[in-house]
Amino acid sequence: MKNYINKCLLLTAGMLLSISLFGQKISDLRINELLIKNDSNYTDEYGRHVPWLEVFNTGYNSVNIAECYLTDDTTGLASGTGIKNWYRIPKGDPKTLIPQRAPVIFYLDNDPLYGTFHVNFNPLQSKTNYIALISSNGRTVIDIFEYPDTLRNLEVSYGCIDDGIKTVETEDGKEISNIDFLHYFTPGSTNKVTSEATKSEKMKEQDPYGIGLTLIAMSVVFLALFLIFAMLKIFGKWNKKTEKRKAEKKKEQVITAKSESVESKVIESATGEELAAISLAVHLYLNSSHDEESEVITIEPPVIRYSPWSQKHLIMKRVYRKK
């Protein structure tokens, strides 16, 4: 039983470890923007103008940068002897957990006692022109950010044009650098700042005199009026036909009511013998066979030109005699 419990605990720990490893990938971090000469730019939490560095999480999972190293001198990287001169990001600060697709700012003031995000070197005093982000094992280089020496004399930020992307591929398949001097200072936000003209400004450029807008507005008005007229016309015809059908139906109902009342009156006034005679006549008419009459009347003149009624000997009864 004890062995079974131990196996379950080990399995659970392995699953949690795999989930944590999947959720955090330190290799997704990139140095995104750098400003060295800071006379009137972004300030730290103490209100000081110092050089600053932005690290960007390119992944879609939160990454904890704690216990990683930042340095401007990678001497002794292979042998592991240079770790003592690097700045190790302390753990325990919740701000070291960088959300997905989000940046974090480090102040390059050579004053690590000011807080977690204040490193132990200053690029104004560095002999190199790069800054390296190294994993917590002290051997794996996560990212190296190189910058020109002129950046120390310009109050301009230098970084990735598209956040976290160091190189881009051209149409002919060549890779070119995506790092350059930036037009805007964007500490803690996206580097790609686009300022698009508003719709009214675009309309003003395309139609400075407003002729097109006037034509569109008038067309919309007249189209709406035409649609309203067509709808009223159709509705009027439909309403007229409906009223006519209602009048005809009402007329038929009146005629039917009158005929029914007449029939009821005739039936009420007729005697039983009359009703029986009518029923018999209708029955004979419907069920007996009838010859088709030509509806032609032929009048023939009599053979005898005189009337037999005037001949007395023809109308008198004859008495038979015995022979």
Q: How many residues does this entry show for the chain? A: 323
Residue 256 sits in the same domain as residue 191: no
What pLDDT was estimated at residue 20? 45
Judge whether 283 lies within some domain: no
More reliable by pLDDT, 205 or 247: 247
Asked whether residue 85 carries a pLDDT value surpassing 90, the answer given is no
Residue 135 sits in the same domain as residue 168: yes
The three state secondary structure string of the chain is CHHHHHHHHHHHHHHHHHHHHHHCCHHHEEEEEEECCCCCCCECCCCCECCEEEEEECCCCCEECCCCEEECCCCCCCCCCCHHHCEECCCCCHHHEECCCCEEEEECCCCHHHCCCECCCCCCCCCCCEEEEECCCCCCEEEEEECCHHHHHCCCCEEECCCCCCEEECCCCCEEECEEECCCCCCCCCCCCCCCCCHHHHHHHHCCCCHHHHHHHHHHHHHHHHHHHHHHHHHHHHHHHHHHHHHHHHHHHHHHHHHHHHHHHHHHHCCHHHHHHHHHHHHHHHHCCCCCCCCCCCCCCCCCCCCHHHCHHHHCCCCCCCC
Across residues 27-40, what is the average pLDDT? 95
Residue 117 sits in the same domain as residue 165: yes
Contact 134, 26 (CB under 8 A): no
What pLDDT was estimated at residue 43? 94
Residue 189 sits in the same domain as residue 204: no
Contact 42, 35 (CB under 8 A): yes
Residue 254 sits in the same domain as residue 161: no
Dihedral pair phi/psi, residue 82, rounded to 5°: -90, 0
Judge whether 318 lies within some domain: no
Query: What would the two tokens of residue 167 be?
Result: 């190189």
Residue 77 sits in the same domain as residue 185: yes
87-141: per-residue pLDDT in tens?
Answer: 999 999 999 999 999 999 999 999 999 999 999 999 999 999 999 999 999 989 9
Asked whether residue 219 carries a pLDDT value surpassing 70, the answer given is yes
Judge whether 92 lies within some domain: yes
Domain limit, last residue, from 222, 248, 266: 266
Lowest mean pLDDT among 53-57, 234-238, 265-269, 310-314: 310-314
Judge whether 87 lies within some domain: yes
pLDDT level of residue 287 (50, 70, 90 thresholds): confident
Judge whether 310 lies within some domain: no
pLDDT level of residue 55 (50, 70, 90 thresholds): very high
Tell me the CATH number at 128. Answer: 2.60.40.1260
Tell me the pLDDT of the chain averaged across its residues.
Answer: 83
Percent of the chain with pLDDT over 90: 48
Residue 84 sits in the same domain as residue 42: yes
Residue 242 sits in the same domain as residue 114: no
Dihedral pair phi/psi, residue 32, rounded to 5°: -105, -35
What is the dihedral sign for C-alpha 43, 48, 52, 58?
Answer: negative
What pLDDT was estimated at residue 18? 46
Lowest mean pLDDT among 185-194, 269-278, 291-300, 313-322: 313-322
Asked whether residue 14 carries a pLDDT value surpassing 60, the answer given is no
Compute the distance between CA of residue 131 and CA of residue 82 in angstroms, rounded to an integer. Answer: 14
What pLDDT was estimated at residue 306? 57
Judge whether 183 lies within some domain: yes
What pLDDT was estimated at residue 200? 76
pLDDT level of residue 148 (50, 70, 90 thresholds): very high
| Highest mean pLDDT out of 154-158, 194-198, 238-242, 278-282 | 154-158
Percent of the chain with pLDDT over 70: 79
Judge whether 50 lies within some domain: yes
Asked whether residue 22 carries a pLDDT value surpassing 50, the answer given is no
Give the closest residue to 145 by CA, choosing from 258, 40, 56. 56
More reliable by pLDDT, 323 or 51: 51
Asked whether residue 19 carries a pLDDT value surpassing 50, the answer given is no
Residue 261 sits in the same domain as residue 180: no
Give the closest residue to 72 by CA, choosing from 14, 139, 125, 23. 125
Domain hosting 210: range is 197-266
Residue 219 sits in the same domain as residue 187: no
Judge whether 319 lies within some domain: no
Domain limit, last residue, from 171, 195, 219: 195
Cβ neighbours for 120, distance < 8 A, ≥ 6 positions apart: 86, 87, 110, 112
Residue 130 sits in the same domain as residue 178: yes
Compute the distance between CA of residue 33 and CA of residue 72 in angstroms, rounded to an integer. Answer: 15
More reliable by pLDDT, 203 or 28: 28
Asked whether residue 82 carries a pLDDT value surpassing 90, the answer given is no
Domain limit, last residue, from 244, 266, 288: 266
Residue 11 sits in the same domain as residue 61: yes
**Number of domains the chain is built from:** 2
Give the closest residue to 98 by CA, choosing from 137, 68, 128. 68
